[in-house]
Amino acid sequence: MIKLPASTFRYILQGANDETIAQAGGSAGNDVPKTYILAKWGKLTIENCLEYLKAMSTHAKLFDYSEVMNEGILSVTLSHNFGSKGTLFLQHYVQSMFAPLGKLPRFSPDENAVVFELR
Quote the pLDDT of residue 8: 86
Count of C-beta atoms within a 10 Å radius of residue 102? 6
CA–CA distance, 44 with 11 (Å, rounded to integer): 32
Quote the pLDDT of residue 85: 95
Quote the pLDDT of residue 119: 85
pTM over 0.85: yes
Mean pLDDT along residues 5-25: 91
pLDDT tens track for 65-118: 999 999 999 999 999 999 999 999 999 999 999 999 998 999 998 999 999 999
User: Is the confidence at residue 60, as pLDDT, over 90?
Assistant: no
Report CA dihedral (28, 101, 53, 66) to the nearest 10 degrees: 130
Quote the pLDDT of residue 1: 59
Contact 90, 56 (CB under 8 A): no
Quote the pLDDT of residue 61: 86
DSSP notation for 28-75:
HHHHHHHHHHHHHHSS--HHHHHHHHHHHHHHT-SSEEEEEEETTEEE
Which of 29, 64, 101 shows the shortest CA–CA distance to 119? 101
Count of C-beta atoms within a 10 Å radius of residue 113? 17
pLDDT tens track for 29-54: 999 999 999 999 999 999 999 999 99
